[in-house]
Every structure is written in C-alpha cells, then in structure tokens.
A = this chain, B = another copy of it.
Amino acid sequence: MQKHLRLEDLASFDRFTRANIINSLSGFKSASLIGTVNKNGQPNLAIFSNIVHIGADPALVGFLNRPLDAAPHTLSNIQETGSYTINHIIADIFPQAHQSSAKYPADISEFEATGLTPVYHEGIIAPFVAESHVQYSLELKQIIPIELNGTFFVIGAIQDIFYPEEIQEEDGFLALEKAGSICSLGTSAYYETKRLGKLAYAKP
C-alpha cells in the first residue's frame, strides 16, 4: 500500500524517526572513511556517505559535512592541512567504520578507538585506511557554507589514487564490487552490491 507523507506529517514525528526517514529517502550512498590529521599530526577518521562526483577534468569530489558542533574535527583538520583521504569501506570493516561516527574527544584517534589501521604514503600528509582496497587523496579547493542549515559542502581535487589493478575494466571503469567496496543507506545500514548491467553511452 502506498503511503503519502506531507511536509506537515514530517513535523509530527520525533526527531529520530524524522531523521531516519529523510536520511534513507535520498538513496544508497558511497560508504567511505575520511582520514585527516591536525597541525600537530594527531590523526582523525570519520565515516561519510554524502559524497558526489563533481567533475573529471579537473577531477573534483565533494562531500557534505554536518554542522560544526556535530562534526568539527574532519573539517578543521582539512582547513589546517589542506589534505584528506577518502577510503572505501569493505564488508569486513563496516562495524568498525560505523563506530568512527561516535563522538570521541579531539585527542582520541578514531583509528585507535575502532582498531582500523592508519597507513601513510610518501608525500601525502593525511592517513589512509590500510583495510580499504580503494583509496584516494585530495587537496582542498573550496568550502561552501550552506546557510540553510549550517552544513558545509567541501570540494577537493583528487591527487593520488590507489586500487587493485584487476578491478579496472578496459574503458577505465573501476568495478568497485570486485574490490569489496560497499554502500550505505541512512545513518546505519550497510549493503553489498550486485551488478545488473553496464550500458553504452546513450544517444537519442
């Protein structure tokens, strides 16, 4: 049976129910961990799913950061160092990745708290997640404050990309399911994927 919720219905729910509806409504997302360090070298790791492709040339990726009081560390570290990494979550680590969303104090590294392993590559300040099979580093380009609700749209330029060679198809496409990358839904659910098909460039 089809349900119809109106704007005024949404207002009638408690905030958790409302958040669960709205968070899941916009669909499956890229389940990723963002690694950063502050100016003292203290590492930070946080789970993000609201990640978009902005363009290929220049290669730009954006993510949505919650308001500063809810999620301060990733954004301030990126502002301090200009550097961050995005690491795909695989099925083996999704409970640990989810745990990184807990509100730890600034002096606690979520790597230590969750048991995930930081790994550093030469010339890149921010840490990667060793357990992740597809990883890339970014250089901060722009932070756009969203005045409607105090969030931030953060845009970075892709610098270095690491992935298992065998997942790449002839046209360049990265078959992420072969690297074990998963997706997420809402704030709490994680999914593996199975390919239905890959289609040619559409023409009228």
Contact surface of A with B, Cβ cutoff 8 Å:
1-7, 10, 13, 15-32, 50-62, 64, 86, 88, 91, 94-95, 98-104, 108, 113, 134, 136, 141-142, 144, 146, 148-149, 151, 153, 155, 157-166, 168-169, 171-177, 181-183, 185-204
Q: With a CB–CB cut-off of 8 A, which chain B residues contact A175? A: 24, 189
The residue in chain B whose Cβ has the minimal distance to the Cβ of A63 is B52
A22 touches B56 (CB 8 A): yes
A55 to B25, CA, bound (A): 12
A23-B53, A24-B173 given; name 13 further pairs at CB < 8 Å: A3-B161, A3-B163, A5-B162, A17-B171, A20-B169, A20-B172, A24-B174, A25-B136, A29-B30, A95-B199, A99-B202, A188-B200, A191-B193
Check B191–A160 contact: CB distance below 8 A: no
- Which residues on B sit within 8 Å (CB–CB) of A26? 30, 51-53, 61, 86
Closest to A4 in B: B162
Return A177 CB to nearest CB of chain B, in Å: 7
Neighbouring B residues of A153 by C-beta, 8 Å: 62, 144, 153
Q: List 21 A-B contacts (CB under 8 A).
A: A3-B163, A5-B161, A13-B172, A21-B56, A21-B173, A25-B61, A26-B51, A27-B181, A28-B29, A28-B31, A50-B53, A50-B54, A54-B64, A60-B149, A62-B153, A103-B203, A153-B153, A173-B189, A175-B189, A188-B198, A193-B193
Which residue of B has the minimal Cβ distance to A182? Answer: B196
Q: A56-B15, A148-B60 are in contact. Are A88 and B27 (CB under 8 A)?
A: yes
Q: A21-B172, A160-B4 are in contact. Are A183 and B28 (CB under 8 A)?
A: yes
